[in-house]
Every structure is written in C-alpha cells, then in structure tokens.
Amino acid sequence: MAIIDRPGEPFAHTMQITERATEPFPYFLAQDCVSAEAGEALLDWFESDAPWRLVSQDFYDQYEFSLFDARLPAAAAMLVDPDAMADLRRQIEVEFGEALSETMGIVAHKLVAGQRIGIHNDFLPGHETHRLTVQLNRGLTDADGGYMMLFNSDNAADIHRILRPVTGTGLGFAIGPASHHAVSRMHGGERFTLVYSFHANGRA
C-alpha cells in the first residue's frame, strides 16, 4: 500500500498497512498513522487545553470531543484538511472494497485509570460502516492496561486478538454484527485515540 503524503505538507497522513485479516470480521493493522510532528502537537494539546467532555454510557466511560468542533494545533491541522481526508477515505475504500460517501467523522477519545470500554460491535443500521482508530500516548506500559481486544463472538471470553496501544498504530475495520471489540481497563497513564468514522455509499 502506498504511503499517503504530500510534498511540502509534512503533516499529512502517512499510514502504512502492516497486516490484513478477514476473520472474525474484516480489519487491518497499520503503523505511522500520524506524523511524528502532528502526534507530538496533538499530545501536547490533549494534555493541556483540549475541550474534553466526559461521556458515560452503560458499557463505557470516556472523555471525548469532535475534532471538527475544535481549533487544532497548527502542526495537526492537516488531519482535518479536506484533501487529506479524501485521500484517507480513498485508502479505506481500497482496503475494504467498498465505495464510501464524503460523510466522515473524527473524534478524539481519552481513557484514564479506572476507565474501560466493554465489548460491543458499533453496529447500528444507518450509522457508520467503517472505522479507523489511531493510538496516541506517551508510551503506555503493559501494566497501564488499555489494550484493544478483538473477539470471535459477543462472548467476552472468546478473544480473537489483543493489541497493545502503541502510539502511532492503527486498527481499521468494517462495522457489522460480528465486529465485537473492547478496551481493557486502564490502570495508569492516559490513552488517547483518534477515531475516524466512514459511511458506505447508500448506507450513510
């Protein structure tokens, strides 16, 4: 897969696909999802005056906000540039073989000690159909928790895979009835995630 980048625009997406899978649902793993400069700028902002708000649901508690509703640091502004977003959308189309609409969302998530996200599949008819999650942090240890967990079914004991939240890495997946995933409880540090949402044409 070609690297997405632009001469003269050093903060463009640079995502490189490292692995692809079709079971238990279509997904891929990636690295270098955000440039070092943009990642550092985002972390500085996330840790200082980003507009976090606490959201509590029956299976999770987390802090979040939409990047479309905030003024990003200059070094990270490329993340919401329409051309860069269109490039990323086209790469997601290629990976999953499905045309996507121009409707996209980018939300930042933050988990701190004691917080977790229970098993769920994100599947809601008429809502987003594909997602890309990108990890950002200062170097979480295994003891800090915050693992992304993929499941073979809706049984929390039926684990398919556990992914460390290594900064700059990404997980892209097709949302459907089988796309069960969760985030293990945080015990230390702060786990930041960029969550990109996409909509298949005709299903937005």
Residue 85 is assigned to a structural domain of this protein: yes
Q: CB-side exposure of 5: number of CA atoms within 13 Å?
A: 15
Residue 172 is assigned to a structural domain of this protein: no
The residue assigned the tokens 């003891």 is 143
Residue 16 is assigned to a structural domain of this protein: no
Nearest by Cα to 179 from 18, 27, 20: 27
Alpha carbons 71 and 49: distance in angstroms, whole number: 11
Alpha carbons 75 and 83: distance in angstroms, whole number: 16
Going by the DSSP 8-state scheme, the letter that residue 78 receives in this structure is: G
Residue 14 is assigned to a structural domain of this protein: no
Residue 114 is assigned to a structural domain of this protein: no
- pLDDT tens digits for range 44-75: 999 999 999 999 988 899 999 999 999 988 88
- pLDDT tens digits for range 14-36: 789 999 999 999 999 999 999 88
Give the domain range for residue 91: 1-6+41-106+121-134+150-165+190-198
Going by the DSSP 8-state scheme, the letter that residue 110 receives in this structure is: E
Contacts of 118 (CB under 8 A, 6+ apart): 59, 60, 156, 182
- pLDDT tens digits for range 152-201: 999 999 999 999 999 999 999 999 999 999 999 999 999 999 999 999 98
* Count of the separate structural domains present in the chain: 1
